[in-house]
Amino acid sequence: MNGEDLEHLLRVQHDAVHLHQAVLHGLLQCAWGRQPLLLPADQQAMLAGLLVRWVAQATVDSEEQAVALLQARSGLRRLAEASGLDLASLLSQALLPMPGCDLASLTQNSRYKLALLADAALLSPAALLEWGRQEPVLAMLFVIQALDVQTIERPAWVAVNRLIEALPDLPLADLPLSVLNPLQQACFRLSYLDSPQRYLAKQKLVEQSRHMLALHDRLRTQCPLPPPRPRPLLLVVGEGLRDGHALFRFFAEPIRDLRKHFHVVLLSDHSVNSGSASELADEIIYFASSDDPVQAWCRQIGDLAPDIIFYPGIGMSFATFTLSQQRLAPLQVASIGCPSSSCSPVIDATLLFEGLQAPAGLPLAIRYDRHRLRPARPGAGAGKVQASRAGQACPCIGINAMAIKLNDDFLSTVETILQRYQQPCRLRFMPNVDGVELQSLMRMLLSRFPGAEVLPSMGHQQYMNELAQCDLVLQSFPYGGANTTTDALDLHIPVVALGSPWLSGQTDWLLLHDRGVSGLCTWSREEYIELAMKLLQDGKFASEVRQQLQQAQQPDARSLQGAVSAGDALWAFWQQHAGESV
């Protein structure tokens, strides 16, 4: 947004209809999200006031209007944060006649807007549960929307954790199918949030989605038996299976290996039709384009009548989220492309690499040898990396974590490390966002870490070059990052990780173990801090770690002899359970 956009809003501010249309257009067309907010502080305050007026005047008289506000909420949050006004304050000014007022005192229209534009800080758990008893549709909408949150600041972190604890006790609601997309996004975000109750809450949202699918006749609970075939047909339902994506890097080899035993069909989007991704399967088909996508995709799969379905990851896309809740094949197996449970009751088993401990509630574990997890090394050379670090006057600490992984607990740990170090150093964040989202994130991060670098989204080669400037990488927690760990280790940069019993807290340890530096994975916050301090202060120790990483080798052919591959593991599973659900 720039000065011209603001001038237009000021011209129409007294015309509620035109103001509503202008703000909706800017939010829904992403015109205000792609670029930073190019307004001085006084004009940012004027914008915040106009957004308050827009929310106060908006009406929700139809499902179309409700869907528009539902879709506008994410852009509204980021724009408000970039202009210095958090969403809770904006909604309070627009909808609540006084702080802490009772929901019953609000009009129906105001309660509906509160649900569609929600912020967790506005309701206590008791108030949310009471709302659920009185108006279950609005209470569930509120939760789904409020999970789109940035938990960098402590109050937001506390508020969303209270909401997550209350969510499992909410009743299911008869929501329209238009809410399925934000519901998928809410489940995805829940996997990353720093809450011990996140999977209980995610399970509730999956129950909610299945309730909606059944309510609208979009839930398949039975599938026909596949016809006899020379080779069983294995359908891979893919997300992100394209060159350079994390899922392709980690799952291309296991998927290719399936072709030893199965006729493999890949169902994915058109991003797989070029490069090495096009060689993954015997056949590639694409998700049908339809106004009723879930129904169309289920028909596609029904026509194939697969013997077994394999999801490398579940939850990052709307397709894998909705399809994984259907019974579309006698056997349905998932892996950990998104390392958290899908919570789907119709996933029969989980393909895990050896060494991972399956948490309680995860479907039956099928194991293959973990050294096959290690992706190919990127092309950056160690000599270039060493030279790029050599001229730095002070150490550079890298934090390569998506914005959603940055939470108050992790950032408080980073603050403690910097306070104890008490020497000049560079702090470099790489959150992989841009536009207004980057601007709002910078505002929050720089308030805690003055002088830190917050880099915009970039291509892979530039990202590797920027990462190569770092002397130390601090891995986020509780949700780590296999890509970050792999890339940093390939550049011979020490990584400090914090392990946990969750799947998302185990992969870093396995990757570090494979390189002979499992000691870089700690198991308490204090150990994490002490290890980071040692790497910053003890040059000899840091040099020894880098030397270990330089000498680490990929497994040779002899080490692979007798290994159980992904294809072998799934073949044994299919032979044991062919023709029936587990």
Q: Residue 394: which CATH number?
A: 3.40.50.2000
pLDDT at residue 533 in the model: 98
153 and 88 in a single domain? The answer is: yes
Is position 122 within any domain?
A: yes
125 and 268 in a single domain? The answer is: no
Q: Mean of the per-residue pLDDT values for the chain?
A: 89
Is position 227 within any domain?
A: no
291 and 389 in a single domain? The answer is: no
Look at phi and psi of residue 540 and say left if phi exceeds 0, alpha if psi is from -120 to 50, else beta: alpha
Give tens-digit pLDDT for 447-463.
999 999 999 999 889 99
Q: Which residues of the chain have pLDDT under 50?
A: 371-373, 376-383, 385-387, 556-558, 582
116 and 248 in a single domain? The answer is: no
Last residue of a domain, one of 135, 157, 179: 179
343 in Cβ contact with 199 (< 8 Å): yes
534 and 394 in a single domain? The answer is: yes
pLDDT at residue 114 in the model: 97
Structural domain containing residue 120:
3-179
- DSSP secondary structure letters along 386-444: HHHHHT-SS-EEEE---GGG--HHHHHHHHHHHHHH-S--EEEE-----HHHHHHHHHH
300 and 448 in a single domain? The answer is: no
C-alpha closest to that of 369 among 517, 568, 74: 568
Is position 203 within any domain?
A: no
Q: For the whole model, what pTM was predicted?
A: 0.92
Is position 228 within any domain?
A: no
Last residue of a domain, one of 179, 213, 244: 179
Give tens-digit pLDDT for 373-426.
455 444 444 445 444 565 567 999 999 999 999 999 999 999 999 999 999 999
pLDDT at residue 381 in the model: 42
Is position 207 within any domain?
A: no
415 and 493 in a single domain? The answer is: yes
142 and 243 in a single domain? The answer is: no
Dist CA 325 CA 463 (whole Å): 36
152 and 75 in a single domain? The answer is: yes
**Tokens standing for 265?**
């069909």
457 and 483 in a single domain? The answer is: yes
318 and 448 in a single domain? The answer is: no
C-alpha closest to that of 77 among 408, 432, 411, 436: 436
Dist CA 211 CA 71 (whole Å): 22
State phi, psi for 8 to the nearest 5 degrees. -65, -45
pLDDT at residue 163 in the model: 96
Total domain count, the chain: 3
Last residue of a domain, one of 153, 179, 205: 179
pLDDT at residue 279 in the model: 81
pLDDT at residue 247 in the model: 81
pLDDT at residue 94 in the model: 95
247 and 105 in a single domain? The answer is: no
Is position 354 within any domain?
A: yes
Is position 9 within any domain?
A: yes
User: Across the chain, how many H-helices and E-strands are there?
Assistant: 24, 13
Is position 115 within any domain?
A: yes
